[in-house]
Structure formats: structure tokens, C-alpha cells
Amino acid sequence: MSASPTSKRIKTSPPLIGTHSGQFHADEALAVYLLRLLPTYSPSALIRTRDPALLSTCHTVVDVGGEYDPPANRYDHHQRTFNTTFPSRPTKLSSAGLVFLHFGKPIIARQTGLAEASPEVGILWRKVYEEFIEALDAHDNGIAVYDPAETRRLTKRFNDGGIGLGSLVADLNAWDDDEEEEQRRELSNPEQVQEAEDTRFLQASELMGSVFLRKLRYYHRHWWPARQGVRECYARRKENDSRGRIMVFERGMPWKDHLYTFEAENSSEEEVLYVLYPEGEHEGSKWRIQAVPVSKDSFESRKALPEAWRGVRDDELDKVSGIEGGVFVHASGFIGGNKTKGGALAMAKQALEI
């Protein structure tokens, strides 16, 4: 993968992929991985360099070169004139977003076995972008999640910068320990230093790629199939409460995204406040009652479980609530449990009136 010897650099079959050398980031690490998921690029070598002459020998170049020219397979986003975004999204693309914009649908079709032109591939393409890749684009382009003017006076309660994928990839730029640092100093040949750096880049690319594939599998195998189940439960919600504030699932499934979608389509209806579902699929499973968040990523509930129940368990919960079979209620009131479906439903109905 190193940028030498010259005879390796000029090979064009299979297509040679180019990106920049030096410190690497999450976006080009993922961009390279995505390309290699396609048959055309799966056997491709990679060259990491900033030398324009070497980059000109590459079939496809990402995150370097100052060009965005899809017919020429050039996918850089650093030029001042660049302002491309994903359809109907506001965030300027990075190299990850650019590759996904142009190659995401065939990648998804190949990974899922769906027809590339199918509506499902289009839905997954947008979902994976909005839930995963867009944040990488924003991070690489220095775009804040919130308007800085609105958050300037806010102070973080704790540091969360070290848990993101961008931070984890950045960590791979460093040598691991004193022994490796000593080894680095002993590498007098620049090509050896470049080769060691390239090895770390491949580790970063594998990290980003594994997360991408896991996200795609989740949305394909779990999130999308759950849509119909949530639709059916939403349609039956008034069987549990005349105003439709309680939804009951006979099995666990990803429900939040779909619920918010169906509520938006029925904006004149009351919002769902509690969702009930079994902890497992085996007979006799305990049941959960979960307060619906005010928004998908919020920790604030539309209507948390009653204050008197919070942090209480088992027999004591039975006494406080007057409902048999209580298991627990979380200290924040966002979730609780009962031994039976009937008990969980009774908790939900009583919570509505408190």
C-alpha cells in the first residue's frame, strides 16, 4: 500500500485508489473502505500521498487533490467553491459523504441482496446517511450540531469528545507505546515510516467500515422490518386507551423512528405517551413500560412515570402503586417493569391519571 516503488504506483488495473498521506481522519478512512466494498475496487491498491504527479496516476482519488469531478473519479471537498450536500440535507459533504452519495446505493444493494432500484434501497441509503455518515461529514467540515450563537453561553457538564468515531480514529495516528515510539525513531527510511503510517490507516479504515456494515445490517434486518409492526400497533393503540396514548407491542422492536413518523402523518391525533413490550420472546417474560421521549435522541420524557414510583422495586413498588407484580421503576421515571402484560398496562393507565 505504500507509495513505492514507482512501478506499483502507475498500475491502473485494478483501479488504483489515492488519498492523502500524513494525519488521517474518519472520513477518508470510511471512503476508502466503502469503495472496496464494490467489485470494481475490492482488489484495488491504495496510495497515500500529496504528490500531484502520483495522484494523477490514480483511477480514483478521495479527500485530496482539490477536485470534485465524479466523471473523473475525483472526490475532494476542501476547495473553497465546494458546497455539495446530500439531497434535502444541509450538511456539506466530506469524502465519506461524497463516496456514499455516488456509490451508496450499489453498496447497499450488494450488501443486502436488494435490487438497487428498489424503494427499500433508497430508504436505507437516506437512513444510513442521516443516522451515521452525516455526523462524520459535519465533524470533518467543522460544523457544529447546534447553532453556535444559541449555545455560546452553555457549559458542558462533562467531556464527551473522546467517545466519537472521529476521536477513536485520531487516536490511531499515534504510536501505541514507548517501544513503538523508539521503533519509529529507528526507521531512517522514509518509505518505512510511510508504510507504518499506512498500516495504521488501514486499521482506521477497518474500524470505520465495521461500524458502517453493522449500522447497515441493523437498519436492513431490524429497523426496516419493524416499520410494519409499529404501523399495526399504532393503528390499534386506542384499544388500550380511548385517546390512543398507550401502544402495546407483543414483541420488542425498534419503534421510536417509526412512531414519530406515523405521528407526524397524523398530527391531529394525541401523542403516544407510553409504550409496552415484553423483555423477551419466551413465555412468561416480564414486561416493560417505557415513557416516549419528547424527541428521538432526548432524555426527557413526554410524561415520565409517577414521581412516587421512581427508584422503587418489587413489593415496595406494589404498595406504592397499588398494582401487583411490580419489578422496578427507574429513578428518572423513563422506564419501569412488571411481571405481566396486564400489570404493565395497569401501570400505564394509572400513570396517565397522575
Length of the chain: 354
The Cα 159–Cα 166 span in angstroms is: 15
The Cα 147–Cα 321 span in angstroms is: 43
pLDDT of 156: 79
The DSSP 8-state label assigned to residue 311 in this structure reads T
The Cα 257–Cα 277 span in angstroms is: 16
- DSSP H or E stretch at residue 275: strand 274-278
The Cα 334–Cα 287 span in angstroms is: 14
Residue 253 grid coordinates = 422492536
Residue 80 grid coordinates = 473553497
The DSSP 8-state label assigned to residue 129 in this structure reads I
Residue 158 burial class via C-beta count within 10 angstroms: exposed 0-12, middle 13-18, buried 19 and up: exposed
pLDDT of 11: 45
pLDDT of 10: 47
Helix (H, G, I), strand (E, B) or coil at 274: strand
Q: What is this structure's pTM?
A: 0.80
What ranges in the chain are assigned the alpha helix state H? 6-9, 26-36, 52-55, 95-112, 119-128, 134-141, 148-151, 165-171, 178-186, 190-218, 224-235, 256-265, 314-321, 341-352
pLDDT of 180: 57
Q: Is-contact 295 263, C-beta < 8 A?
A: no
Please list the rounded mean pLDDT of every run of 10 residues in the chain (354 residues).
47 84 96 98 96 97 98 98 97 98 98 97 97 96 87 80 84 71 64 88 96 97 95 97 97 95 96 97 93 93 98 98 98 98 98 96
Residue 341 grid coordinates = 402484560
**Residue 282: Cβ within 10 Å count:** 7
C-alpha distances in Å from residue 216, one per residue of 91, 125, 138, 219, 304: 21, 9, 20, 5, 32
The Cα 92–Cα 78 span in angstroms is: 10
pLDDT of 179: 52
In which residue are the cell numbers 467517545 written? Answer: 163
Beta-bridge partner residues of 337: 288, 328
Residue 289, φ and ψ in degrees, nearest 5: -120, 120
In terms of Cα–Cα distance, which of 35, 37, 45, 36 is closest to 12?
45
Residue 329 grid coordinates = 421503576
